[in-house]
């Protein structure tokens, strides 16, 4: 019996997402599975919008940034009615398994969906924030680090030339993995991360205890 695998990229995009899609398609093809790529994240499941993926159709996407399946935030999906519609889409297309490529929020949605469907669901951690438990490094984190360090190297030249202190803010949402790794790599004097409270300065310049 033909097996059908769905793949979805949800939430914020991350570098190398396309490589993950390519890997899913190639492995599925080697097992004679059919692959459906749902477009625009969870919206594709709500609207039954997908494209059939083959090794030929994903050839060359590894060189592209972001995700060629597109992605978006879908508040509707996280409602009870949205989960029901997504479940109906999986049943309508005889999907046996769903590969979710995304971060923490995507996996929370996948967990809710798994409670309503018989389709097997597996997550591929992809987020520059590196905030997915159970993996040392998520897809996109390394690229984010290298990009930030390269830019800070340029900023340092200007800081030295003008004898100034530069403050650099990086992404990471509520986690300081990018800030900490970039700061150590680039030789920052001070690194501030969300996980560590910083004392507030009192009038006059001394730090409040």
Tokens encoding 54 = 């083959």
The architecture in CATH of the region 4-125 reads 3-Layer(aba) Sandwich (3.40)
Catalytic entry in 13, 118, 129, 131 = 129
CA torsion sign for 32, 37, 41, 47 is negative
Alpha carbons 161 and 203: distance in angstroms, whole number: 31
Q: What is the largest CA-CA distance in the chain?
A: 75
Distances (CA, A) of 103 to 71, 109, 159: 12, 10, 35
DSSP conformation class of 141: H
129 assigned to active site: yes
pLDDT (0 to 100) of residue 209: 46
β-pair partners for 19: none
pLDDT in tens, 72-120: 888 899 899 999 999 999 999 999 999 999 998 899 999 999 999 999 9
Comma-separated ranges of CATH 3.40.50.450 domains in the chain: 4-125
Model pLDDT for residues 44-55, shown as the tens digit of each residue: 999 999 999 999
Q: Can you read off the two tokens belonging to residue 122? A: 């597996």
């Amino acid at each position: 019996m033909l097996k059908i695998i769905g793949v979805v990229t949800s939430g914020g995009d991350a570098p190398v997402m396309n490589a993950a899609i390519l890997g899913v398609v190639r492995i599925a093809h080697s097992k004679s599975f059919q692959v459906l790529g749902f477009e625009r994240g969870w919206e594709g499941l709500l609207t039954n919008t997908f494209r059939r993926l083959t090794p030929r159709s994903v050839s060359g996407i590894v060189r592209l940034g972001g995700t060629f399946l597109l992605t978006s935030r879908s508040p509707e999906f996280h409602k009870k009615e949205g989960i029901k519609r997504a479940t109906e889409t999986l049943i309508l297309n005889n999907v046996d398994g769903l590969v979710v490529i995304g971060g923490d929020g995507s996996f929370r949605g996948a967990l809710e969906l798994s409670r309503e469907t018989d389709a097997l669901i597996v997550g591929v951690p992809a987020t520059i924030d590196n905030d997915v438990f159970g993996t040392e490094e998520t897809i996109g984190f390394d690229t984010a680090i290298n990009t930030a360090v390269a830019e800070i190297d340029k900023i340092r030249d200007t800081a030295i030339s003008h004898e100034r202190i530069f403050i650099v803010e990086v992404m990471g949402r509520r986690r300081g993995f990018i800030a900490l790794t970039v700061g150590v790599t680039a030789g920052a004097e001070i690194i501030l991360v969300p996980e560590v409270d910083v004392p507030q300065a009192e009038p006059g310049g001394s730090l409040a205890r």
